[in-house]
């Protein structure tokens, strides 16, 4: 039986440790994912300028957006397995530097074929970052704090889209340096920060609590012990044993459900500029960028509210189901009001809350259902199959979109979001114990 006199002291150590980890780890991890997500999706704004120069149709754009994920899914699981062995600091730095260089190179393509090749190589470079960051978070946050910690990570998505929308539109309208088309500068200027960030990660990010100089020995021991308590242990080790995790029915089920959610997320993300442009064809690129940022601002707020509520109650599944249905409703409204800016933006904001808000409770739920030995391959496997949704979502929308109606293909992601919600109704998920408050970056 635990000594009651040690409880206040343990609580003090715990609160102090969580606060220090949140302040030190979350900002750098969040920045990594901000530029990562911005660089994979900046083609959505660059397309507004490149469509004439490279003769890109809606179907071509959908394919160029989607083809990124084919290479991404092939290398994602191996990437997480390598990271587990070489350490987060070196591997995350490698990913950031290589994707930043590849994004900038995309600004120099001169044909659709070259664009496809550049997108494939970008997928190879980025592969493993998100599941790698999820794996990294399991080393630093207990289950009770993980929802809000993952929300701080997932908050990078709306921040990336807000930043990408605002800067993408401005670059398209105002940057024409060295006789290069403005759309090329979207890739060059938005890719460069990732290279710098990769160098910072190499010298700044500790691999695990035991190597964190900002924690005392007492704090790092407490954190490692607390996290170890939450996981079951597996007897088998080695690459072959790890890969057997993929056959686990619960991992397959979680992955398929997330695949349907990703069809909605990426279809929405990549086609948002075209949907906004359709509201009023007279909009400039800057207008589209500023209006396109509004749903993501609303989505960011919604994400934080959902994460806080989910962590406070310890409930994950119900939150995800409700958010999937909200996003489906929002997409349906977007189709209905596609030529009416105000209600269309309201509906797009509903979609943003749904497809962004679900990320924190979903990944907290997924990591909770896995053993510690399953996390590296399990999280990567779930995200790999979900990334296929990143292929099918934009691809199907692009194939069905027309010059006059960018929303014609939205019925596919609507159906996918509903299927995800139905699947999760049959998933048994234990409630997490409410944890200590997590300090968000900048607060």
Residue in 422, 407, 394, 263 with CA at minimum distance from that of residue 333 = 407
Provide the CB-side half-sphere exposure for 17 (13 A, CA).
27
CA 292 – CA 83 distance, rounded (Å): 35
Q: Where are the alpha helices (DSSP H) in 87-126?
A: 88-106, 112-126
Report the phi/psi class of residue 127: left, alpha or beta, with left for phi > 0 and alpha for psi in -120 to 50: beta
For the chain, domain boundaries: 18-208+247-425
- Phi/psi of residue 54, nearest 5 degrees: -105, 5
- Phi/psi of residue 390, nearest 5 degrees: -65, -25
CA 255 – CA 399 distance, rounded (Å): 25
Q: Which residues fall within 8 angstroms of residue 376, CB to CB, at 6 or more apart?
A: 80, 81, 83, 84, 135, 242
Would you write out the chain's pLDDT as a tens digit for each of its 443 residues?
445 555 556 678 878 888 888 888 888 888 998 999 889 888 888 888 888 888 888 788 888 888 888 888 888 778 878 887 888 889 999 999 999 999 999 999 999 999 999 999 999 999 888 878 877 888 888 776 766 677 677 778 788 888 888 888 889 888 889 889 999 999 999 999 999 999 999 988 888 888 888 888 888 888 888 887 766 554 445 554 555 556 678 888 888 999 999 888 888 888 888 888 888 888 888 888 889 899 989 998 998 888 888 878 888 889 999 999 999 999 999 989 988 889 999 999 999 999 988 888 888 788 777 665 666 567 767 877 877 888 888 888 888 776 667 777 888 899 999 999 999 998 877 666 655 443 333 33
- Phi/psi of residue 315, nearest 5 degrees: -100, 130
CA 195 – CA 162 distance, rounded (Å): 21
CATH match of 18-208+247-425 with 1.20.1250.20: yes
Report the first-to-last Cα separation within the chain, whole angstroms: 37
Q: What is the pLDDT of residue 440?
A: 37
Q: What is the pTM of this model?
A: 0.73
Q: What is the pLDDT of residue 374?
A: 61
* Opening angle at CA 13, ends 441 and 1, nearest 5: 135
Q: What is the pLDDT of residue 443?
A: 33
Q: What is the pLDDT of residue 439?
A: 36
Provide the CB-side half-sphere exposure for 160 (13 A, CA).
28
Q: How far is CA 128 from CA 362, 373, 378, in A?
A: 18, 17, 12
Annotate 249-289 with DSSP letters as a single string: HHHHHHHHHHHHHHHHHHHHHHHHHHHHHHH-TT--HHHHH
Residue found under tokens 């996390």: 375
Residue in 132, 369, 395, 359 with CA at minimum distance from that of residue 258 = 359
């Amino acid at each position: 039986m635990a000594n009651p006199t040690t409880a206040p002291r343990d609580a003090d150590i715990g609160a102090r440790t969580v606060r220090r980890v949140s302040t030190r780890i979350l900002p750098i991890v969040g920045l990594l994912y901000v530029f990562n997500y911005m660089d994979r999706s900046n083609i959505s704004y660059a397309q507004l300028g490149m469509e004439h120069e490279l003769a890109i149709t809606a179907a071509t754009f959908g394919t160029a957006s989607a083809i990124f994920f084919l290479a991404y899914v092939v290398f994602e699981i191996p990437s997480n397995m390598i990271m587990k062995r070489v350490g987060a600091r070196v591997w995350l730095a490698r990913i950031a530097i290589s994707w930043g260089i590849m994004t900038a190179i995309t600004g120099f393509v001169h044909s659709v074929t070259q664009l496809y090749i550049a997108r494939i190589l970008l997928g190879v470079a980025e592969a493993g970052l998100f599941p790698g960051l999820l794996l990294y978070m399991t080393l630093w946050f207990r289950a009770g704090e993980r929802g809000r910690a993952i929300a701080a990570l997932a908050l990078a998505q709306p921040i990336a889209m807000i930043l990408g929308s605002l800067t993408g539109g401005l670059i398209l309208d105002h940057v024409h340096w060295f006789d290069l088309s403005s759309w090329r500068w979207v890739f060059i200027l938005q890719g460069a920060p990732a290279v710098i960030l990769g160098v910072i990660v190499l010298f700044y990010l500790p691999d695990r609590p035991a190597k964190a100089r900002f924690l005392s020995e007492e704090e790092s021991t407490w954190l490692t012990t607390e996290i170890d308590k939450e996981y079951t242990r597996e007897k088998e080790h080695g690459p072959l044993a790890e890969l057997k995790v993929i056959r686990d029915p619960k991992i397959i089920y979680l992955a398929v459900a997330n695949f349907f959610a990703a069809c909605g997320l990426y279809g929405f993300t990549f086609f948002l500029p075209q949907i906004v442009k359709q509201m009023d064809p007279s909009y400039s690129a800057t207008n589209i960028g500023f209006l396109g940022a509004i749903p993501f601002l609303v989505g960011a707020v919604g994400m934080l509210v959902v994460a806080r509520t989910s962590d406070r109650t310890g409930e994950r599944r119900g939150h995800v189901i409700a958010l999937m249905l909200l996003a489906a409703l929002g997409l349906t409204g977007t189709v209905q009001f596609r030529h009416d800016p105000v209600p269309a933006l309201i509906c797009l904001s509903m979609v943003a809350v749904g497809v962004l808000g679900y990320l924190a409770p979903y990944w907290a739920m997924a990591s909770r259902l896995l053993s510690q030995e399953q996390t590296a391959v399990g999280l990567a496997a779930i995200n790999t199959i979900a990334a296929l949704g990143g292929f099918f979502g934009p691809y199907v929308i692009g194939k069905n979109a027309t010059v006059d109606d960018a929303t014609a293909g939205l019925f596919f992601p609507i159906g996918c979001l509903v299927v995800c919600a139905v699947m999760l109704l049959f998933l048994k998920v234990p409630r997490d114990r409410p944890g200590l408050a997590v300090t968000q970056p900048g607060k």
